[in-house]
Amino acid sequence: MRLNFIKKPLTAVIVGAGHRALIYASYSKTAPEELQIVGVADPNPDRRQQVAKLYNLPPKACFQSAEELASKPKIADTVINGTMDKDHVSTSIPLLEAGYHILLEKPFATNEEEMWRLVQSARKHNRLVMICHVLRYAPFYAAIRRLVADGEIGEIINVQATEHVSYHHMAVAYVRGKWNRKDICYSSMLMAKSCHDLDLIIWMKSGIAPRFVSSFGNLMQFRREKAPRGAGTRCLVDCPIEADCLYSARKHYIDHPQRWSFYVWDCLEHISNPTIEEKMESLKKDNIHGRCVWKCDNNVVDHQSAMVGFEDGCTATLNMIGGTSRPSRSIHLIGTKGKIQGVLNDSKFVIRHIDTRPGHEYSEEIVDLNITGDMDGAFGGHGGGDMRLVADFCKTLRGETPSISCTSIEDSVYGHLIGFLADKAMEEKRIQEVRLRI
């Protein structure tokens, strides 16, 4: 791809003014000389109004849909597409045709057929589509990738990745929330939550093709028959055990008023500052987050394990478990010359090499990046990856040398493909062969 480079600052339109798009767009507040928000497209008039106020946008820069934006003369260099998973391809293709480059939230497609439609459209129109694999930009993973690329642990024999999804994240997104039914949101839990981790596995393997995928998983915990004795249907309406329940809507969303607020209170976004009383009332009535977690309509898994066999003989595993007491991501790379093991949330990893000296078995070096939790000040969440991703998007379109983490849509194909095949393998209970060679 040969891009026509853009001078500072890049201009962007927010398409789908949800939580993730607004986070990426916020880079323009700290680096206005690099990025400026000049428009918004969203079917929700309240969200359009909120974004217009936030970025001082005139009415002519506010659109009801991506299609309406694409039908008008081009008003920006790029689009930040934060629509729902099932809408990523249908909204992006008209925008590529209209001449926009796109920063696109993951997963960029919900099945292999539409994945290729978007890849081919980006190629045809010579547009950059960068997928928001923000964990590539977390200093933790970027530092590990540099060591792998430099041959620090030799040829990788095995990759072990895990994601523990906290009990409150599991409940708000995959049991009560927007991603709780594959037949509605079109993404499985593996793809909606852990396609980052699948991408990291592919990234650590330096683009070596996967060949076989197998997977097991199910919905084990959050099912009607697993409900505690006496549980009601809505926490604050008819549940006599609510006070003792770990998944009480009151405990999750009232006692922790800022936790997942952008999901829980979207039904009240027409109210500028809803009161506790208004929030409580919504949980009692039609707010989906007021439902008993064991009596929702969810059908996605709450845990899944996937295994990948690569062309060079390497194997990799990803274990995704929902409902854990503490959220965490970890990675363990075993190579022919050593190993790297660490936990993102601890912001440190250890490098071990074989040591044959008398009295020794191995040497060990601990790398502590001193970044705690999921935040990194001005660099945002996901271990500090959010804002670094947007900065690299801007840098790439200016023709500057991108970072080691830079990812185009082609770079994201294998990670998405093994996710689609893992779900198919789980459903069909048989190994899937990867027939694609990029």
152 and 104 together in one domain: no
171 and 58 together in one domain: no
331 and 195 together in one domain: yes
252 and 116 together in one domain: no
The answer to the question of residue 390 being in a domain is no
Q: Is 303 exposed, middle or buried (0-12, 13-18, 19+ CB in 10 A)?
A: buried
Expressed in angstroms, the distance from the first to the final Cα of the chain is 15
The answer to the question of residue 38 being in a domain is yes
Phi, psi of 282 (to 5 degrees): -65, -40
The answer to the question of residue 210 being in a domain is yes
163 and 108 together in one domain: no
Strand pairing category for 362-368 and 348-354: antiparallel
23 and 165 together in one domain: no
The answer to the question of residue 385 being in a domain is no
178 and 140 together in one domain: yes
- Output the domain CATH number for residue 162: 3.30.360.10
229 and 324 together in one domain: no
117 and 156 together in one domain: no
Q: Which of 290, 317, 333 is the last residue of a domain?
A: 290
344 and 199 together in one domain: yes
Structure tokens, 139: 């200093």
DSSP 122-191: HHHTT--EEE--GGGGSHHHHHHHHHHHTTTT-SEEEEEEEEEEEHHHIIIIIISSTTS-HHHH---HHH
Phi, psi of 165 (to 5 degrees): -95, 120
What pLDDT does 7 receive? 79
Q: Give the span between the Cα atoms of 196 and 326, in whole angstroms.
A: 19
143 and 204 together in one domain: yes
Of 336, 330, 236, 242, nearest in space to 289 by CA: 236
What pLDDT does 376 receive? 45
The answer to the question of residue 147 being in a domain is yes
**SS3 for 72?**
coil
pTM, rounded to two decimals: 0.94
What pLDDT does 378 receive? 46
The answer to the question of residue 271 being in a domain is yes
**SS3 for 295?**
coil
The answer to the question of residue 416 being in a domain is yes
Q: Which of 100, 132, 164 is the last residue of a domain?
A: 132
Domain that holds residue 284: 224-290
Number of domains in the chain: 3
For the chain of 438 residues, list the mean pLDDT of each consecutive stretch of 10: 77 96 96 97 95 97 98 98 97 98 97 96 96 95 97 97 98 97 96 97 94 98 96 98 97 95 92 93 97 98 98 98 97 98 95 94 93 50 84 94 91 96 98 83
The answer to the question of residue 394 being in a domain is no
What pLDDT does 370 receive? 81
99 and 248 together in one domain: no
- 200-233 in b/e form (b: 16+ CB < 10 A) is bbbbbbeebebbbbbbebebeebbeeebeeebbe
Q: Which of 269, 290, 311 is the last residue of a domain?
A: 290
